[in-house]
A = this chain, B = another copy of it.
Amino acid sequence: MEKSIWVLRIGQRYVRDDRTLTHLCLVSRALGAERIYLEDAEKDVTATLEEVNRTWGGNFEAVLGASWGKTIKEAKKEGRSVIHLTMYGLPIQDVAPALRELDKVLLVVGGPKVPGKVYHEADFNVAVTSQPHSEVAALAIALHEIQNGEELKRAFQKSKLRILPSARGKRVVEN
């Protein structure tokens, strides 16, 4: 069964042209999430996503301006499990079997400043290694593990362009 995955980005102030934020949005979209909640962002992020949807398909969306507390509360109310990605959490390879059982998920991606309360609100605190690296990479591996690789097979509806995978070179077709 296809899961319903939402992503929530917390603990980072928005700066214009923040590549990390854009990457978090695009990775969420490409790897099977339905939407991303951003506490603090500007319209240029939404514009980028609309352009990507128009060209490459699907209807992924960014929700701007909701507080993390409210987003977690509402997610729980409608039966979502909250998975918080943190290098201090339990190894993803150990909890992946449990995570794959969940149908509805809110995946929380922390920035440099995550309130301590998030660790307690979360149903799972999960580490993609206990080494410092990248929230973009942690999100990607988590989406991949939770969906057991199924997200890679997904087709995006209503795209203007589509890539034909090839061993050499670039093949793109217009739909």
Contact = CB atoms under 8 A, between A and B. Distances in A.
Contacts of A56: 131-132
Given A131-B156, A152-B128, A163 B87 contact: yes
A23 B131 CA distance: 12
Contact of A125 (B20, B27, B125, B168): B168
Counted per complex, copies of this chain come to 2
B27 A152 contact: no
A120 B168 CA distance: 6
A4 interface: no
Contacts of A152: 91-93, 128-129
Contacts of A30: 129, 131-133, 137
Given A130-B165, A131-B156, A167-B125, A137 B27 contact: yes
A19, A131, A138, A168: most-surrounded residue (chain B CB, <10 A): A131
A20 B23 CA distance: 9
Given A29-B131, A30-B131, A119-B170, 17 more contacts: A19-B19, A23-B133, A26-B132, A26-B133, A26-B134, A30-B132, A30-B137, A31-B133, A88-B163, A88-B166, A89-B166, A89-B167, A127-B163, A131-B156, A136-B136, A138-B140, A141-B144
Interface of A: 19-20, 23, 26-27, 29-31, 52, 56, 86-93, 116, 119-120, 124-125, 127-134, 136-141, 144, 149, 151-154, 156, 162-163, 165-172
3 smallest CB-CB distances across A and B, nearest first, come from A137-B140, A23-B134, A130-B163
